[in-house]
Amino acid sequence: MKLDFLKPKSPPLIGIDISTSAVKMVELKETGKNLEMERYVIEPLPKDAVTDGNIANLEAVGEAVKRAWRNMGTRVKTAALALPAAAVITKKITVPAGQTEPELEMQVETEANQYIPFALDEVNLDFQVLGPSPATPDEVEVLIAASRKEKVEDRVAAIEAAGLKAIVMDVESFATQAAFELIQRQLPNSGADQTVAVVDIGASMMHINVIRDGQQVYFREQAFGGNQLTLDIQRKFNLSSEEAEAAKRNGGLPENYEPEVLQPFMDTLALEISRALQFFFTSTQYNTVDHILLAGGCSVIQGLDEIVASRTQVSTMIANPFLNMTQSSRIKTRQLLLDAPSLLIACGLALRRFDP
């Protein structure tokens, strides 16, 4: 007779994504075999509180985290956070199999010394055994990840200021990959043997994450995002950046907005995505992509998916990791449809709750 209820359940946690434009929180839970979207919130950040993935104004970010947590109405105070990929050095190494944890730690530190351009006492270092090496059976592949301590500490401090506690620190691109596994099932043949480009269009950066059979095969950042559209609106209609941002979100712009500002922006965005794919083809052995998944705030602009599909000649869809989840009664389904593409990283982080 097996008694499962004595096994410690994974502690509840919320996924918190601190991006350039907002603090996003997601809480998931398991009901039977299904995942349920329990609650989420998107709390805008003041301009320049986060720049280039770095927290520039700790107080403002801490306040936004506090507001987000209050508005979310959860009791959970433990969280999973992520660092931008640019702040993390990752390296795959192979080591002899069968080592004890302390031996492995020693070896990882020795190896890390060669790859990390900082003193080891200035970095947070972590590693994960990925499994047997495909090339040599008596070795295992290990992923090393290292980041400057202050990058980690800033994010931890921001949520501690709101009375929350960080128990997981991930990498944004890995969190995106975790959320992608939920979306993969929506693809033909569940995405098997397909190369998928997840294009996350943030406020200031576009992240291109190419995934094949559950493995990230390429990652690139391009400096282009939704802020560009806000700037275009500002210039064209002589508005302040706050007014332009509000008008972009809530409408109410003159009739010439669509043909003269929005349409050119979408064309430029599609061109940037097409260019990013060219970079991918020239720097890897791949020469095709089967699907493009659009994520981030810009991805829900009406008709963008069609423009990208026609420019790249690749089937394009809007990313929604919550499509096959049940939803708690407090979730507004129509609003979630609009918000889902912006919640990829927060969703990937929330999934860490169910890690074995």
**What's the pLDDT score for residue 5?**
47
DSSP 138: T
CB of 322 closer than 8 Å to CB of 347: yes
So what's the pLDDT on residue 197?
Answer: 97
User: Rounded to the nearest 10 degrees, how much is the dihedral formed by the CA atoms of 179, 11, 69, 199?
Assistant: -10
Distances from the Cα of 311 to the Cαs of 122, 282, 290, 296, 299, in angstroms? 45, 18, 14, 19, 15
What's the rounded Cα separation, in Å, for the pair 69 and 75?
9
Pair of tokens at residue 50: 């986060």
- In this prediction, residue 62 carries a pLDDT of 96
pLDDT at residue number 3 = 47
Residue with tokens 């050119």: 264
Task: Specify the pTM.
Answer: 0.91
CA-to-CA distance for 50 and 56, rounded, in angstroms? 5
Grouped pLDDT means (10 residues each) for the chain, 356 residues: 51 93 95 90 93 92 97 96 91 88 88 83 88 87 89 94 94 94 92 95 94 90 93 94 88 92 97 96 96 95 96 97 93 94 97 88
Q: Are 175 and 130 in contact (CB under 8 A)?
A: no
Beta strands, E only, the chain: 14-18, 22-31, 34-44, 50-51, 54-55, 78-83, 88-96, 123-132, 139-148, 165-171, 195-201, 206-212, 215-222, 291-295, 315-318, 326-327
